[in-house]
């Protein structure tokens, strides 16, 4: 019987059965993983500080809501700012976007808190929290992009020709 657990290469040019190809995969991806991990640690520490500053009172988890919406706004800003730059280091997006902002936002806590609201007898609050967080976070991403697109021409000056 064939093995069910095969390792399909991430890159079709990389054969994980060939030792040199495995080393190539490690060389190219180790720096990205290090950037994500270090950024994630910084983002999680920032989230902890913000969460301790904004204590949640009542049944609605305001601190997590504000962290996720604020992080989503920053993700929109980051996406748009990086889109205006001609080039950046290949580790900027993994470090800032996936690492710091991914570590800062906490949608896993949002899911646990939603479950806790339902099981503690607050299903309506849980529904408002579930739907409200997703909609507000998506609007925050769009707002971040729109904000940068409105401000970016001023950064680039009149010779740039307008929008990013």
Q: What angle is formed at CA 133 by the lines to CA 129 and CA 134, rounded to 5 degrees?
A: 125
Q: Is residue 10 part of a domain?
A: no
Q: Would you state the pLDDT for residue 90?
A: 86
Q: Is residue 32 part of a domain?
A: yes
Q: Is residue 14 part of a domain?
A: no
Distance (Å, rounded) from C-alpha 14 to C-alpha 10? 7
Tell me the pLDDT of the chain (164 aa) as tens digits: 444 445 544 555 656 677 766 666 666 688 889 999 999 999 999 999 988 887 666 788 999 999 999 999 999 999 999 988 888 888 999 999 999 999 999 989 999 999 999 999 999 999 999 999 999 999 999 999 999 999 977 666 555 444 44
Q: Is residue 59 part of a domain?
A: yes
Q: Is residue 13 part of a domain?
A: no
Question: Total structural domains in the chain?
Answer: 1
Q: Is residue 100 part of a domain?
A: yes
Find the domain containing 73 and state its range: 19-160
């Amino acid at each position: 019987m064939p093995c069910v657990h095969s390792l399909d290469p991430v890159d079709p040019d990389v054969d994980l059965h060939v030792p040199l190809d495995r080393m190539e995969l490690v060389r190219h991806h180790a720096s990205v993983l290090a950037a994500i991990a270090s950024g994630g640690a910084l983002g999680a520490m920032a989230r902890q500080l913000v969460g301790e500053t904004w204590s949640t009172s009542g049944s609605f988890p305001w601190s997590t809501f504000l962290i996720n919406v604020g992080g989503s706004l920053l993700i929109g800003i980051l996406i748009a700012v990086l889109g205006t730059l001609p080039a950046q280091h290949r580790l900027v997006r993994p470090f800032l976007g996936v690492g710091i902002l991914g570590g800062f936002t906490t949608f896993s806590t949002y899911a646990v808190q939603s479950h806790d609201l339902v099981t503690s007898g607050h299903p309506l609050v849980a529904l408002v929290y579930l739907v409200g967080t997703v909609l507000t976070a998506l609007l925050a991403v769009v707002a971040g992009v729109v904000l940068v697109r409105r401000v970016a021409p001023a950064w680039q000056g009149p010779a740039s020709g307008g929008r990013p």
